A and B are shown apart, each in its own frame.
Chain A
Amino acid sequence: QVQLQQSGPGLVKPSQSLSLTCAISGDSVSNSNVVWNWIRQSPSRGLEWLGRTYYRSEWNRDYAVSVKSRITINPDTSKNQFSLQLNSVTPEDTAVYYCARDNNVRGNHIFDYWGQGTLVTVSS
């Protein structure tokens, strides 16, 4: 059974960086059949895909245009996890952040496992 366990602070000051980690159990961050995503949800912006990382002979990262200049998603093979860093945050970045697995077997996209969600509030 795959489990994704999120961790990170729930309060970040404006202009600082938001950092979250998604620890994986029951799968490997290097699994070449899956893609690891970060998605957030807020009342004002709804569900918003932020980016993803995946291994296909080498590590790949794709980011949403809306956050591309501020975001980094990194895998950590030693700890079997992946992380999200979002720089220069504003109150607009206040949201519930989710990590999610996209099971990419046979070209399908099955978002089958999600983290528990982390409410991150940007406030001084």
Chain B
Amino acid sequence: QSVLTQPPSASGTPGQRVTISCSGSSSNIGINSGYWFQQLPGTAPKLLIYRDIQRPSGVPDRFSGSKSDTSTSLAISGLTSEDEADYYCAAWDDSVAGWVFGGGTKLTVV
């Protein structure tokens, strides 16, 4: 049971825009920044979004983050088959003094 709650799956067609949600609480996303990672099969997670909305250098602007109260969201526009991956949200949780993650969302581009 993950501390942050994500839908297990999401799907979209090429070119479409998809949004993945992540629900937390007042001890994590409510007072700390949200983070998003992309994980391709057999590889380590890759940071897509930090501090709710910031993109590390090299991450396309098709990926965007937002936050509202105790939830954060990742939007992916202009979907391509290369976006098929697992997506994880994360945040620092003050109640456990550690990083917590969502259970992951498997994105399928059909």
Q: A and B: partners? A: yes
Which of A's residues lie within 8 Å of B, judged by CB?
A: 37, 39, 46-49, 51, 62-65, 98, 100, 108-112, 114-117
Number of A-B contacts (CB under 8 A): 55
Question: How many interface residues does B have (CB within 8 Å)?
Answer: 24
Residue ID in chain B nearest A113 by CB atoms: B44
Chain B residues whose CB sits within 8 angstroms of the CB of A114 once the complex forms: 44-46
B: which residues have CB within 8 A of A?
2, 33, 35, 37, 44-47, 50-51, 54, 56, 88, 90, 92, 96-104
Known contacts A114-B44, A117-B44; decide if A49 and B50 are in contact (CB<8 Å): no
Q: A98-B44, A109-B35 are in contact. Are A46 and B51 (CB under 8 A)?
A: no
List of A residues within 8 angstroms of B99 by Cβ? 37, 39, 49
Among candidates B35, B44, B92, B103, residue contacting A46 with C-beta atoms closer than 8 Å:
B103
- Pairwise interchain contact B98-A62, C-beta atoms closer than 8 A: yes
Q: Which residues of B contact A39 (CB under 8 A)?
A: 99
In the complex where A65-B96, A112-B56, A114-B45 touch, is A47 in contact with B51 (Cβ < 8 A)?
A: no
* Pairwise interchain contact B101-A48, C-beta atoms closer than 8 A: yes
Cα-based distance from A62 to B94 in the complex (angstroms): 13
